[in-house]
A = this chain, B = another copy of it.
Amino acid sequence: MNSIVLIGAGNLATQLAKRFIEVGVSIAQIYSRTEESAQALAKIVGASWTTNTVDIVVADAYIIALSDKAFSDVLPYISFNDSLIMHTAGSVPIDLLANYSDNYGVLYPLQTFSKLRDVDFSDIPICIEANRDDNLVAIEKLANKLSHDVRIISSEQRKFLHLAAIFCCNFVNHMYDICDDITTQNGVQFDILRPLIQETAAKIEQMSPRKAQTGPAVRFDTNVIDAHLKELSSDSDIQELYSLLSKSINRFQNK
């Protein structure tokens, strides 16, 4: 794969492009609908850039790092000339790419990305899939440069992985956000919870989440649970969340 074009310049595209440079894979061009994003990322990786699909250059491979919704707005206007195209999305089935090229696949890094926060890419599981064995080999070769953890994952499995990622990333982060509100509203700095947050995440490196579980919901201690529900009475949504989550923990413990 001598020339790669990156379609997209968002959080994932930015971190992916940086990693490509790190491992010696050059990017020929960056496409983004937003001039500012295209230009900024092109500068970082030393590539040309465009906001116009007709100006996208011919390349060996195209990596599509667009939001799910943008696929149909952008892809029909690009001439891929049956080059290998890969998307990087959790919830988009591989077959959707059949409309745009005869050679296609998926390269999905299972991680949360922000433009301004660099991550250690070498540990990130890369889920790959392709429409043909030769394309899978090519994608695997590329993925192996990015990370030591490359796994062949079907579209169906990837769909559920993306769902799981919502729980262990977005929903977990929302728990942190709720805590930020609770501590701030009571004159305590949120940072007091950081060691607990880190230990909760670290604990499951050693034991299953079910075994790691502690707290009042495990034994359904109604004294503590009722007291907490009362403390949450000013926010009925959070109160309902507390109640549902406590019941759910107890149900899982008895599975």
Residues of A whose CB lies within 8 Å of any CB of B are: 11, 68-69, 91, 110-114, 117, 119, 123-125, 127, 149, 151, 153, 156-157, 159-161, 163-183, 185-188, 190, 192-210, 212-218, 221, 223-224, 227-228, 231-232, 237-238, 240-242, 244-245, 247-249, 251-252
Contacts A166-B228, A176-B168, A188-B160; A201 near B200 (Cβ below 8 A):
yes
Residue on B nearest A218 in the bound complex, by CB: B170
Which of B119, B127, B171, B221 sits near A245, CB closer than 8 Å?
B171
Which of B172, B178, B180, B192 sits near A161, CB closer than 8 Å?
B192
Within the assembled complex, what's the spacing in Å between the Cα atoms of A231 and B158? 12
Within the assembled complex, what's the spacing in Å between the Cα atoms of A157 and B185? 10
Using A160-B186, A170-B213 as known contacts, list a sample of 8 further A-B pairs with CB atoms less than 8 Å apart, ordered by residue number in A. A91-B224, A167-B179, A168-B196, A169-B196, A169-B197, A169-B214, A194-B204, A194-B205
Whether B172 lies near A200 (C-beta < 8 A) is: yes
Whether A174 lies near B204 (C-beta < 8 A) is: no
Residues of B within 8 A of A182 (CB): 160, 163-164, 167
Contacts A209-B180, A210-B180, A242-B166; A204 near B159 (Cβ below 8 A):
no
Whether A174 lies near B245 (C-beta < 8 A) is: yes
Whether A213 lies near B174 (C-beta < 8 A) is: yes
Residue on B nearest A168 in the bound complex, by CB: B179
Which of B151, B204, B208, B214 sits near A197, CB closer than 8 Å?
B204
What's the least CB distance linking A115 to chain B, in Å?
11
Contacts A169-B214, A176-B168; A237 near B247 (Cβ below 8 A):
yes
Whether B178 lies near A160 (C-beta < 8 A) is: no
Sample (27) of A-B pairs whose CB atoms are under 8 Å apart = A68-B221, A69-B221, A111-B196, A117-B203, A117-B206, A127-B192, A160-B185, A160-B231, A161-B193, A166-B215, A166-B216, A167-B179, A168-B179, A168-B196, A168-B200, A169-B196, A169-B215, A170-B245, A173-B203, A174-B248, A175-B175, A178-B252, A179-B209, A190-B208, A194-B205, A238-B248, A241-B248
